[in-house]
Amino acid sequence: MRLIFLGPPGAGKGTQASLLLQRYGTVSLASGDILREALRRGDPIGRQAHQYMENGSLVPDEVITELILQRLETLGKEQSFVLDGFPRTEAQARALDVWLERRGHKRIDRVVDFDISEEKIVRRLAGRRICGGCGASYHTENLPPHREGFCNRCGGELRMREDDLPETIRKRLAVYHRQTEPLLKFYRNQGKLRVVPGDLEIESQYEALLQLLKAEQLV
């Protein structure tokens, strides 16, 4: 299965992608994680992207598209994957379609929109924490670490993402409405768009996602 997870920040895309990875081995390519990893390593592309990320705007299409397509290139043609956070503009979506077709890869099967209210987003993002060491994601209420403030996986210190501050969240939501929401129509026109409620608890959201994927005979 080849999926795209759409939906605003805080809708649960990353959490659901990691649950699919655990159960079905579906590789998750999360554009934000890939950029943060490049930044931690001090790669030029990470440094270039940082100025956009810290103020909540989008990294230029060419930069992120090249980065994601390079990663996709490393996957086998039959490998199941979830794209989490890419594409975020129509230009990125078109570039992805062209690339998949040229490489003889199968097309994207379904695009899942995680639909959630803004009020809930702001609450969710305020509790989100990431590990400074390995980038793993937690939530103070919904997905707390075993030891408060520290990563289960590597013991690194947990902190808020710099772009989860309230004023940056507002900017990211405005960017989402302006640049990413038009993709809903783009994929609806391709007959691929499906909706999963984004404001459910993690387990119920996962159930809803699995039901959908089963109904589509993708799992």
Q: In 3D, which of 215, 180, 176, 219 has the Cα closest to residue 194? A: 215
Closer residue to ligand AMP (CB): 88 or 124: 88
Contact 79, 171 (CB under 8 A): no
Matching residue, tokens 């397509």: 69
Q: Is 40 a catalytic residue?
A: no
Give CA–CA dist 20/27, Å, rounded. Answer: 8
Q: Is 88 a catalytic residue?
A: yes
From 2, 124, 128, 129, the catalytic residue: 128
Q: Is 13 a catalytic residue?
A: yes
Closer residue to ligand AMP (CB): 19 or 58: 58
Q: How far is the CB of 193 from ligand AMP (least distance, A)?
A: 18
Contact 126, 164 (CB under 8 A): yes
Q: How far is the CB of 161 from ligand AMP (least distance, A)?
A: 8
Q: Is 124 a catalytic residue?
A: no
Closer residue to ligand AMP (CB): 51 or 211: 51
Q: How far is the CB of 58 from ligand AMP (least distance, A)?
A: 4
Closer residue to ligand AMP (CB): 26 or 31: 31
β-strands 27-30, 81-84: how paired? parallel
Q: How far is the CB of 31 from ligand AMP (least distance, A)?
A: 3
Q: Is 120 a catalytic residue?
A: no
Binding site for ligand AMP (CB under 6 A): 9, 31-32, 35, 52-53, 56, 58-59, 64, 85-88, 92, 163, 172
Outline where the chain has alpha helix (H): 13-24, 31-41, 44-54, 61-73, 90-102, 118-127, 166-175, 182-189, 202-215
